[in-house]
Structure formats: C-alpha cells, structure tokens
Amino acid sequence: MRRLYEAHAYSDAPRAGCLWNADAGPPRAAFDGPQSTEVAVIGGGFTGLSAALHLAEAGTEVTLLEAKHIGWGASGRNGGFCCLGGGMLSNPQLARRFGQDALAVYRAAEKAAVALVAERLARHGIDADTHSDGETLLAHTPRHMAALRRELPHVAEAYGVTPVLHEPADLAALGISGPFHGGMTIPLGFALNPGKYVVGLATAAEAAGARLHDASPVTAITRNNGFTLTTPTGPLTAKRLVLATNGYSSDDIPGWLRARYMPLQSNILVTRPLTEGELAAQGWTSRQMAYDTRNLLHYFRLLPDNRFLFGMRGGSFATPGANARFRGRIEADFEAMFPAWAEVERPNFWSGLVCLSRNRTPFVGAIPEMPGAFAGLAFHGNGVAMGSYAGRLLADLVRDRQPEAPYPAAFAIPPRRFPLGRHRRALLAVATGALSLLDR
Ligand SMILES: Cc1cc2nc3c(=O)[nH]c(=O)nc-3n(C[C@H](O)[C@H](O)[C@H](O)COP(=O)(O)OP(=O)(O)OC[C@H]3O[C@@H](n4cnc5c(N)ncnc54)[C@H](O)[C@@H]3O)c2cc1C
C-alpha cells in the first residue's frame, strides 16, 4: 500500500493510549478466501459499517474487509463529537458554487446525519454514554465573539434552529470558565463514546446478516466482470464495491485515489477523573461538548466519569518523536486554557488520521474510472455523524438507487488531485504554519 505518512502512523502505537480501547469488542475472524459476495466493503469504520448495516437490512449480501480490526481507524479513536460538519465550505461559498437550493440540501444532510446516529443508538439499543445538548463554540478573542454575533442569524437560517449566544459574563454561570470571550450554542448534536458506538454498529450489521472480517487487508483491486479483491488469505470477488478507508487510504488501492485525499493527524489527551473540587477550582462543570474559534481549533468536553478530553489537529510528521513533540504542544495549550488543572495527570494520549479533500467537501459517490465502485471519504475531521450518513447514502448508490435522504450535489463531485503527489503533505505544513500564526 502506498501511503502518505511514516509507517508509525499505520501501526498500533499511535492508538495504544486511546481511552476507548477498553470498549473494543471481540475480534472477528480473518477473511478466508476464495469467496464471492454481492457487495464488498473495504474499511471497518463508521462509513463501511454503516454501509454494511444498511445493505444487510435491505437484504443485500455484503462482506466487509478491515485491515486491522473493527474501529481500528479514526472511528474507534475520535473525540466522540456527533456534530454538524463534514466539509469546510461556508454558506456563501456553497451557494455560489452549487446554488441556494443545493445549499439547503447540504445543511439538511448535516442535520440528518446527526439524527441518523441518534436513531441508530435508540433502535439498536447501543448505550454510548451520550451527553451534551448540541455543541458550544467559544470565542478565543473579542473579535471572534463579534463574528459569532454576526453569524447567529445565518446559523439559524441554515439549520432551522435557534442558536443561543452566551455573553462573556454568562459563561461562569454555565460552568464554562476559561480564556473565552463569549460563545454560541447550536442545539444540534451530542457527544458519545465512539468505541461503544462503533462496536454497536458492527454488532447491528452482523445481526442483520453482514459478514465482517478483521485482519483482512485488501492489497489489490482487479476489475473483471465485477471486482476481485486480493487479501493475504485469498481473493474475494464482488459485483459491487464500496471504498471506506478515509484517512487510512492508500494512493494505489485503487489507483484512482492517488493524491485525491489528504490525511491529517488529530490528537487527544484525557485527564484522570477530576474531583468536584478540581472542577469547581477551574469553573468548568458543564457537560457541553465545546470547541474554540481558532483555525487550528481545540475541542474539549467533560466525560460522564469526570475525565476531561482535550483535542487538537495537526502535526506534519508521524514519527514517535514528532508525536511526542506534538503532545508537548497540546499539554502546553491545555495548561494555558485550564490552569487549575496544570498539575493534573493526563494518562491518555493518542492520535489518528482524519481526511481532507481539495474540494473541501466530503466525497460520497461513484468512482468515475470504476463502474460499480463507490467511495465515501473526506469528512474533514467530522465523520462521526457524516461518515455514518455517508454509509447510508453509499448503501443506496451501490444498489443504483437515488438516496431518499438529502444527498448534496457537492458530495457527488469526485475530489480533485492535490498538487505535489506523494509529497503533498508539505502543503499541510505550510497551511498549518500560516493558520497557527493567524491564531496568535
Ligand atoms: C483523534 C481524532 C479525533 C476525532 N474527533 C472527531 C470528533 O469528535 N467528531 C467527529 O465527527 N469526527 C472526529 N474525528 C474524525 C472521525 O473519527 C472520522 O471522520 C471517521 O471516523 C471516519 O470514519 P471512516 O469509517 O470513514 O474511516 P476510519 O474509521 O478511519 O476507517 C477506515 C478503515 O479502513 C481500513 N483500511 C484502510 N485501507 C484498507 C485496506 N486496503 N484493506 C482493508 N481495510 C483498510 C483502516 O484500517 C481503517 O480501520 C476524529 C478523528 C481522530 C483521528
């Protein structure tokens, strides 16, 4: 597999400290070929599992191959913000490029994605430690608070909800104290334990009849009447194919993907459970999931057992040394933002790969050069809801059905290639450096 980062990024090491490892389900048997199936799915995260679940529920034979184990990628190691997002284009940009109606469909899809996860948890009886009533965006400068004030009516219009503005003086009473200049709560979304959600999704897919396999890396895709997937334990032939490998994609599986996706590291640290006294000392007692207005944003939430989760994207290199240096940077940001907890132990630290596209929107659609093959990727670090939703769309598309759920026109446009080919990671270093300067 031709991948973008150092081998360390694709090893078990970056996820070894992940808090959710305790919730990983039982291992599944590796694929044992040769076999054939109606639809093959590559990748056992939210996207692939969601596609498998919907296909199996629709009565379609589906076999999912995961290189490591279910939830091994970003899906089993994220921050658990089940939230709006998935792309990076603003309302004016979307409206200019795709039209006002398409903008409405796009925002409806984001809402539907959150609702889909809530519905799944309820229907399949998945207890995923949910909390938070929507998400809260916190201004890191007075200028950004002014921008939130201006943004409020646009958020209300785009999502058909009533967001609430928090003046700086209101924050303490909300249990949200820190170096913030006010904020805004959008009453859509909730937080969850992603380890429990991904395992619950897999269990539901299997109960519906999907075949899921761990330890089954696809090392080549050959097109014939359908597709033959090569694995170390034999071939799988399939009439149709769903590719759901997101940040863990390879430039050669399939070759069409070459330079069309950009993995980016995201990193999380978690404290030990905080005492009531420690929470009071910092003035943070809220269960709201929150993030700040920086370009290189911090995301954070108080977990149900009073551990505090704090995350940040970035890090151009994925070596043990580079990851350790980035940990130092996050620790410093954490201590600056929550000084009362500067001495509190943070036993958990981990990182993983999210995925960006040059189009700055997710891609959920047909792979042009491969009739019968479809892909869902590039959720721009917000794939808990959107990856799940992409899987649902893919389950329709791969059966030649127009999705009934909102399907934004932007999603169907194949991602353009990034410049610099396999050296494109250099673009990230330049972009994150510039954004970091803007954030000062
Ligand atoms: C630290 C971190 C924090 C995050 N926080 C949030 C958050 O709070 N909210 C949010 O919405 N999103 C968050 N994200 C992003 C979110 O986790 C992802 O967008 C989402 O999980 C993507 O799901 P996926 O199924 O598309 O891909 P993944 O979960 O990454 O799964 C892809 C899978 O494909 C497998 N694979 C790759 N190649 C092959 C092959 N050739 N053969 C077989 N299998 C293969 C990989 O092993 C991997 O398991 C975060 C991500 C990280 C890393």
Specify the amino acid at residue 219: T
Euclidean distance between CA atoms 173 and 23, whole angstroms:
34
Alpha-carbon Rg for the chain, nearest whole angstrom, is 21
Ligand 1 test: best mutation among 245, 312, 356, most atoms within 8 Å of CB?
Answer: 245
Q: Half-sphere exposure of residue 53, counting CA atoms within 13 Å on the CB side? A: 26
Is 7-79+195-262+358-439's fold the same as 132-191+264-353's? no
What lies within 8 Å, CB to CB, of 228 at 6+ separation is 221, 222, 235, 236, 237, 238
**Which CATH number applies to 7-79+195-262+358-439?**
3.50.50.60
Calculate ∠ Cα 336-147-312, nearest 5°: 35
Q: Half-sphere exposure of residue 309, counting CA atoms within 13 Å on the CB side? A: 31
* pLDDT tens track for 344-396: 999 999 999 999 999 999 999 999 989 999 999 999 999 999 999 999 999 99
* pLDDT tens track for 234-272: 999 999 999 999 999 999 999 999 999 999 999 999 999
Euclidean distance between CA atoms 223 and 405, whole angstroms:
30
* pLDDT tens track for 133-179: 999 999 999 999 999 999 999 999 999 999 999 999 999 999 999 99
Are 12 and 344 spatial neighbours (Cβ–Cβ below 8 Å)? no
Q: Element (H or E) spanning 384, and its range? A: helix 383-397
The CATH T-level fold of domain 132-191+264-353 is D-Amino Acid Oxidase; Chain A, domain 2 (3.30.9)
Q: Tell me, what's the pLDDT at 25? A: 83
Pocket of ligand 1 (CB under 6 A): 1, 42-48, 65-68, 72-75, 77-81, 83, 217-218, 244-248, 253, 266, 268, 311, 351-354, 377, 379, 381-385, 387
What lies within 8 Å, CB to CB, of 117 at 6+ separation is 82, 192, 197, 384, 385, 388
Ligand 1 center from residue 73 Cα (angstroms): 4
Q: Which of 368, 385, 389 lies closest to 376, judged by CA?
A: 389
Mean pLDDT, residues 176-189 taken together: 97
Ligand 1 test: best mutation among 63, 64, 75, 137, most atoms within 8 Å of CB?
Answer: 75
pTM: 0.98
Q: How confident is the model at residue 437 (pLDDT cuts 50, 70, 90)?
A: confident
Lowest mean pLDDT segment, chosen from 27-36, 73-82, 416-425, 431-440: 431-440
Q: Tell me, what's the pLDDT at 433? A: 76
User: Which atom of ligand 1 has the smallest separation from the CA of 376?
Assistant: 26
- Domain segments of the chain as ranges: 7-79+195-262+358-439, 132-191+264-353
Q: Tell me, what's the pLDDT at 56? A: 98
User: Which atom of ligand 1 has the smallest separation from the CA of 381?
Assistant: 15
